[in-house]
Structure 1
């Protein structure tokens, strides 16, 4: 993450590359291969999901916060809602694909991996379909996009509150909600709603991710991204002692994870009660400590590494089209599960071929998405009106045109919008 404010019209290629890396790690984690376990949570007790959500929130805060700075708060609301609608449409399409193609084939051939995935749908298909479209029923693998929809809908209101009251109050409230989620807030909210309006979807089918915990991660990224649009915003900086502490924690937790495994304490051991502290779904306290340590190191050392390392443009391409690539990776995982099952003992050559083919498909999806977006912008741009006697400029200028990955000239700072 860049330590200095980004120009309002500049796209952060470092963030795109990092998101592309998170997408690849999620693909490796979800595809059943011999690399699933070794590359799951490779940096400690933190998965690619945390990094992807944090980076996506950062980009949302920076991009849509820029809309509020340059245009108006109303335009920011509309931009968030349009994105939420697009994400919902992707979720609905994936849900229908799962309930039709995957369900038909998987149940017909009695594929255990698919039957287990669709256990509730098999028992109550109509309730599952309606509940899925209402974001109540969230089957495995399809339980993160509903979070994105809800976070996108809530984000403009949160940013307006931050404009008025400041981000400290927002983050304080968000942190308290995360703390309450560690003590069963999610189940309590479900029981309260169920007492008023009986819910047809049981609690264990409402998704593995605890929304009340993950909202803190989203708010953190939203705050970090939104503040980058202020020309007077100070750079993200940390005292030396905090960087040294982050290094020690990151090395210790990464070594622990790879020596012991993804579950820090044996289920039958005396320290098993401490496993929830590392829980992924509720973002346990030690998991947040591990994540904060990595964030500090990424902010502190990231710009230096980015300046010295060659740009990985293929990762930038994946990150630039993150939503279509994310959806494509879920389609690939579902197809592999219905065709090959959840087998992790295939020959290495087959696993490598499967991963290589999957990465190739994701890259092709990203390239096609960016090509379509570029041509749609060109098609919707109205032609310039020429004055009498004026000649139309040449189609191909003598200097290379700026690409989507190259920074544009910095726009002059705009006045801070008045909420309302």
Structure 2
């Protein structure tokens, strides 16, 4: 194969990543909707990881195609400038989403006389100290429930700016990332939040998963990187063991609590330490095991990935930022629907409506980008978060 052909093949957009991002976006909406029956079949019920881990890993993967490729072509300053602009857009999107979400929840609480909404979603400070709350929100120190994911991505993409300068030394980049993750866990350090405590997703810990995804993306596009693991029965067995252990843990603690009570005390005590905030090693191993199985046993050029049924998920994944923002609003709308009637008909209507609107947002965003059909070129610059 000619060098140019090889390069083009390596820089093609990976449909597996986009489809998985689309699935993760759908799972986030379902998981954020109390009473949704589909919540029992999302990833968090079967593994010690969930859609958030998948999304962060894939954001790093996409970042290698979007920004590392740009740095290779146009230089670090150009790529860093583009990345900084993207961080600014994410910040504006986060503030806009917070304003709309607060209005949605506040109006519903007043209209339906359910002030518990404000307390449950941690929005009551807006009623008590509106001006101070707005200031803290602008500083990212106030993060209501469900609105703590975009601040995480803002910091991760900001960390990618200096990370791009080390893209040609993947061992050093991942070594520094792992050292930071370990140091943060040992020191129990986190960004502070207003009213005490730290961020629910500690960016300084989650950056390791992001940069692992970045390294995988670098390897997939043929840039200097650590070698990708090849298909191996031993690695497959190890991945299956990690995921199987996680499944057994979920069965014992979530599905059949009586079974968990019969386990040795050391096991439930260990599972209680598997934290999400600072990216526990077991959660990290779980999502990496799942990524290995998908990457190894689902061919990148499989016809089904570009078929009619996969296209809606692929389009959602390609436009993840607007889809995510609308999904947050839809999750609360769906909650209101299910609180009015949680029968099977409303469950079906609610989930179909949410999924249909997410797909619609994806296609409208695709049309606005003017990219046309799924591209046959490198990832566009803005695709690291949609």
In the superposition, the TM-score normalised over structure 2's length comes to 0.84
Q: Deviations over 1:367-416 (max 9, x none)?
A: 11111111xx7xxxxxxxxxxxxxxxxxxxxxxxxx53142499xxxxxx
What is residue 73 of structure 2 aligned with on the other side? Answer: 70
Matched, 1:209 2:201: yes
Point out where structure 1 has 5 or more consecutive residues left out of the alignment. Answer: 191-198, 378-402, 411-420
- CA displacement at 1:289 relative to structure 2: 2.0
3-state SS of the aligned residue for 2:329? Answer: helix
Q: Distance in 1 between matches of 2:75 and 2:328?
A: 36
Q: Please tell me the root mean square deviation across aligned C-alpha atoms, in Å.
A: 3.1
Q: Distance in 1 between matches of 2:269 and 2:340?
A: 29
2:334–2:354 contact (8 Å) kept in structure 1: no
What is residue 243 of structure 1 aligned with on the other side? Answer: 236
Q: Distance in 1 between matches of 2:275 and 2:262?
A: 13
> CA 1:269 to 1:142, structure 2 compared with 1: closer, same or farther past 3 Å?
farther
Higher helix share: 2
> CA 1:106 to 1:45, structure 2 compared with 1: closer, same or farther past 3 Å?
same
Q: In the TM superposition, what are the counterparts of 1:289-308 in structure 2 within 5 Å? A: 289-303=285-299, 306=302
Alignment counterpart, residue 114 of structure 2, candidates 104, 110, 115: 110
Number of aligned pairs?
A: 365
Q: In the TM superposition, what are the counterparts of 1:114-133 in structure 2 within 5 Å? A: 114-117=118-121, 118-133=123-138
What is residue 316 of structure 2 aligned with on the other side? Answer: 318
Q: Distance in 2 between matches of 1:232 and 1:327?
A: 34
When Rg is computed on C-alpha atoms for both structures, the one with the higher figure is 1
3-state SS of the aligned residue for 1:367? Answer: helix
> CA 1:300 to 1:242, structure 2 compared with 1: closer, same or farther past 3 Å?
same
3-state SS of the aligned residue for 2:44? Answer: coil
Q: In the TM superposition, what are the counterparts of 1:18-417 in structure 2 within 5 Å? A: 18-32=20-34, 33-107=36-110, 109-117=113-121, 118-163=123-168, 166-187=169-190, 190=192, 201-204=194-197, 206-230=198-222, 236-238=228-230, 239-258=232-251, 260-261=253-254, 270-271=265-266, 272-303=268-299, 306=302, 311=307, 312-337=310-335, 339-340=336-337, 343=339, 346-374=342-370, 403-408=372-377
Q: Distance in 1 between matches of 2:209 and 2:256?
A: 22
Q: Distance in 2 between matches of 1:171 and 1:262?
A: 37
What is residue 3 of structure 2 aligned with on the other side? Answer: none
3-state SS of the aligned residue for 2:37? Answer: coil
Point out where structure 2 has 5 or more consecutive residues left out of the alignment. Answer: 1-5, 380-386
> CA 1:136 to 1:55, structure 2 compared with 1: closer, same or farther past 3 Å?
same
2:170–2:225 contact (8 Å) kept in structure 1: no
3-state SS of the aligned residue for 1:278? Answer: coil
In the superposition, the TM-score normalised over structure 1's length comes to 0.77
- CA displacement at 1:226 relative to structure 2: 3.1
Of 229-238 and 141-150, more deviation after overlay is shown by: 229-238
